[in-house]
Structure 1
């Protein structure tokens, strides 16, 4: 009950109208972003029936983070953040409309899906840091921590809702319909209708962010609505207007320094992580849990098509329960950690995730044997499958949430950003070969062997984590014993 009341207290910061509009825009942007990601995965699955091609969608979503993450953050710091927010949403809205037009003109040309995925992720590089950076100017100083907590909570929850619940449900519930435009009759499939709705929601998010207080490079908006620019900042702003080419050169220098700063941050972060075994394990477990989530997203539509014989749009039977498990896990993880401890919680999560994944093929075999001929849609089979996938989602939360918390706790304040930057590079960079490998293996061996491989990887990761923890414990006990012996010898009288 105490945790619930603390969670509700976080919502009090929404009494600020500007923060409320920003929060609503964040909910809309993230939910439709991951709803669109799910729809793109379904489209590729229906067009290609290839797990590799599905993996390329996830790679297209990850690649901008690896290539342009650092310079994009540096550039956002030098622009009006409110403008970055609303322009980002307008650009995504028109890009989505162009994508719908491309689907209508050439419904089987799936190259447009990869272009849209890459473009959405690229624009998101500017939106997310601008959103995080604008929050301190919208609340009082003592409310900053609750506001940032709400930001992170909304980030995780909206991703799960969009990708795991809203996307599958919308594709199943939206009906096809036709409309007349300039004398021509246009037939809209559910996926095209969905992207039209997504475009409209992006425009709504643009309206919400366009009404935020204006942000400046040299200072931020004060509570009364006036600018807090100093005379030096005003002179600098006038100089920028007078010498636009100098400003352009300055921006290019900022991009280059962003790359150089990222490289230095990664080196500093790696030196810290390398010398701290607990931090290294937390970093590994955070990356591993995230990559398992991406692999499940990559293979879910293939699983539904090949193992269940259902359309890819019916992936809701996997995604929706897994999303419920993730949301439930985010609420219950603190209680589980308080009871079991961080290490045991992560081990239970890895073993539970592996066991849940490993039981899915035998469940399908038993259902095919006992519930034929309509075993794939039998309520008993669907209920058992939902319980397993919900358990997988819950287990992943038991891994990722404690690991990320431990990663931040073990990092000194002045190094925390560098450790998080190292995590982002390792995770997004690692996603590319993992997605390609698992997709190719699925197309080559089939979905069942790869399912067992994924389950075995989770169990192996649990054993490796336990072995490293035992090794550290024995080493610490041994070094502690030697230290006590040395101290005892120092205290012996000298004759």
Structure 2
């Protein structure tokens, strides 16, 4: 049977299991979130304390996402996923036991929520970066939509189920249900999923953790598509966080209703997201990602206005349905751009940075909206979020998302020159203790200088994306036609990794620069090794090696 276009990625069995595990985990998460928020309204019913539940669930991920992404790019992904789910099982099980014993107060609830978020941070980059390994690139955007649909199906079921469980069995049972979801996911990952083996050469060690984190940040800074997606994510999620921060208190204080009504509103939001996910293929045909994210931001913000000015359960349910549709349109489009812009070797780190932006926007936004709710009231804060969100959604479009993202895994048409190592240096290189400097000398005509310098800016981005820590372009004062590009890498192993990362986009940047070279032979390329302790006992001296083409 042929699947509809919106469900096509599910024909890949490994992705189907990943999707199922994502949905099970999300149901547990929403049960936990509903129970935690409602318990806090009982323990400390003021806007700031209730909003701190969201902050505690989000801000640890902001801090730990990048180290977790670096680990996911370095370690066995399957093993990392299994152990992180077992750790989340332990944290949520502990919360359930303490709640059952009546030992949970407001601050302990925040502490254990933050602990669970720490393990979630370890899990999330490895989980999200697994999707491109299981579906073809052409199906990746819809696969991400389906993941969001699964998450929002859980949002439609989980909060309502959470409200019923809290009302009928108490919060301890709800926390226990979340622990059970992690056990199920660990079994699915450990027994049913198989990921492709690493392609890193056996003699090339993994990147040191801190170096891997820095490279992830540099990649985000010098990849335009990823940079724009991160900026737009911060703007969108910072405004949208008002709902998550204030909705529990809106239901409890403004509407005067119980936990089941809070769960109903979250379920309505989830239902809207499911409907939005099913129509996403048509929306992508009609709108570019840039326009779609802007419209989604406007829709989300506008949905908050009637909640503030016309309080009522029916109005709120309709508004949350609309909010859910806008949420999935923006979130899926933003994450799709991030996934498509990240090369395979930095996939988890790129997604970790996106998740850090997401959780930072949600966490700090929640604190800000909670503070405003204390001074302007819950309805006033929601109205401000609605009106301000519309303006921000339009202004954020100054950072445009691309309609098409070049494939960072595409192979280059041209090969990099092979290099030989001078006698006596191989043992020094194996220590990986010395920075490496690469220089490339071009001969450029006077009339080509302006165009050449523009081309070199593109090549500069390429060098930084692939691992260069410093880059400069200098001109020979004695022979002004000679321009030298020089860039530094942390060590010899990083130079080898940079060569393996060279892709079609890097090749295009390099060929654009080479087009302006007017020498009788190819540009002279050389590698220099920093050798410490060879002179006065401090600093370093550059020892030349040969770079042969």
Please give the range of the TM-score, normalised by the shorter of the 2 chains: 0.5 to 0.7
Shift of 1:297: 1.0
Instruction: Identify the residue that residue 30 of structure 2 maps to in structure 1.
Output: 34
TM-score where L is the length of structure 1: 0.68
Q: Which has the higher contact order (CA 8 A, sep 6+)?
A: 1
Q: Does the Cα contact within 8 Å between 2:95 and 2:112 map onto a contact in 1?
A: yes
Instruction: Identify the residue that residue 70 of structure 1 maps to in structure 2.
Output: 66
Instruction: Identify the residue that residue 10 of structure 2 maps to in structure 1.
Output: 11
3-state DSSP class of the match of 2:4? helix
Q: Within 5 Å, give how 1:172-321 maps onto structure 2.
A: 172-174=163-165, 189-212=169-192, 219=197, 257-273=208-224, 282-321=229-268
Q: Does the Cα contact within 8 Å between 2:243 and 2:382 map onto a contact in 1?
A: no
3-state DSSP class of the match of 2:257? coil
Q: How far apart are the structure 2 equivalents of 1:114 and 1:309? A: 24
Q: Can you give the 5+ residue segments of structure 1 that lack an aligned partner in the other structure?
A: 178-188, 221-227, 237-249, 365-380, 470-495
Q: Within 5 Å, give how 1:433-472 maps onto structure 2.
A: 433-465=364-396
Q: Can you give the 5+ residue segments of structure 2 that lack an aligned partner in the other structure?
A: 401-549
Q: Any idea what the Cα deviations from partners look like across 1:244-301, whole Å, max 9, x if unmatched?
A: xxxxxx9xx96xx33333334324433454xx8xx76654332222233332111110
Q: Does the Cα contact within 8 Å between 1:76 and 1:130 map onto a contact in 2?
A: yes
Q: How far apart are the structure 1 equivalents of 2:286 and 2:136? A: 30
Instruction: Identify the residue that residue 100 of structure 1 maps to in structure 2.
Output: 96
Greater percentage in strand = 2
Q: Within 5 Å, give how 1:131-170 maps onto structure 2.
A: 131=127, 144-145=136-137, 152-162=144-154, 164-170=155-161
Q: How far apart are the structure 2 equivalents of 1:329 and 1:174? A: 28
Q: How far apart are the structure 2 equivalents of 1:202 and 1:413? A: 29
TM-score where L is the length of structure 2: 0.62
Shift of 1:146: 7.7
Instruction: Identify the residue that residue 502 of structure 2 maps to in structure 1.
Output: none
Q: How much is the aligned-residue C-alpha RMSD, in angstroms?
A: 3.8
Q: Does the Cα contact within 8 Å between 1:266 and 1:421 map onto a contact in 2?
A: no
The correspondence for 1:124, drawn from 120, 123, 128, is 120
Q: Does the Cα contact within 8 Å between 2:309 and 2:383 map onto a contact in 1?
A: no
Shift of 1:304: 0.6
Change (3 A) 1:316 1:440: same
Matched, 1:359 2:312: no
Q: Across the two proteins, how many residue pairs are aligned to each other?
A: 398
The correspondence for 2:316, drawn from 385, 394, 400, is 385
Q: How far apart are the structure 2 equivalents of 1:424 and 1:285? A: 13
Matched, 1:325 2:272: yes
Q: Any idea what the Cα deviations from partners look like across 1:183-205, whole Å, max 9, x if unmatched?
A: xxxxxx43222222222332233
Change (3 A) 1:147 1:259: farther
Instruction: Identify the residue that residue 51 of structure 1 maps to in structure 2.
Output: 47
Q: Does the Cα contact within 8 Å between 1:80 and 1:214 map onto a contact in 2?
A: no
Change (3 A) 1:154 1:47: farther
Q: How far apart are the structure 2 equivalents of 1:323 and 1:89? A: 24
Change (3 A) 1:307 1:82: same
Q: How far apart are the structure 2 equivalents of 1:313 and 1:338? A: 38
Name the stretch that deviates more: 354-363 or 300-309.
354-363
Change (3 A) 1:91 1:348: closer
